[in-house]
Amino acid sequence: MWARASAGIVPGFFLAAALVGMVSWLLPGAWESTMVAGLLAFFPLWIGVFCVAFRFSSGARAWAGLSALALSALGLLWLLQRSGWVR
């Protein structure tokens, strides 16, 4: 149980941050204009990812799955920035 909870907290934080960042960057206009909405949406999204961590059968699977998703989302953000799609 603690392993799944910590998986929801640590990689779940980065996954939620990457998802909010992706939405903020891909919306039209400057990303600064979506800052407040992104901050308001971050916490419920993080709690949702935390709850999803308990759907895994073990803590190791939760860590592996959420870490892979977080790394993929952060990698996609990095690729979008490097390709010039976002500033």
Domain boundaries, the chain: 1-83
The per-residue pLDDT for range 33-57, each reduced to its tens digit, is 888 888 999 999 999 999 999 999 9
Distance between CA 35 and CA 41 in Å, rounded?
10
Position 66 scores a pLDDT of 98
Structure tokens at 17: 């941050």
Task: Report the alpha-carbon distance of residue 75 to residue 39 in Å, rounded.
Answer: 21
Position 74 scores a pLDDT of: 97
Give yes or no for a contact between 34 and 24, defined as CB atoms under 8 angstroms apart.
yes
pTM: 0.90
Rounded Cα–Cα distance for residues 76 and 18 (Å): 9
Specify the 3-state DSSP secondary structure of 55: coil
Q: What is the mean pLDDT of each run of 10 residues along the chain (87 residues)?
A: 95 96 85 86 96 96 98 95 84
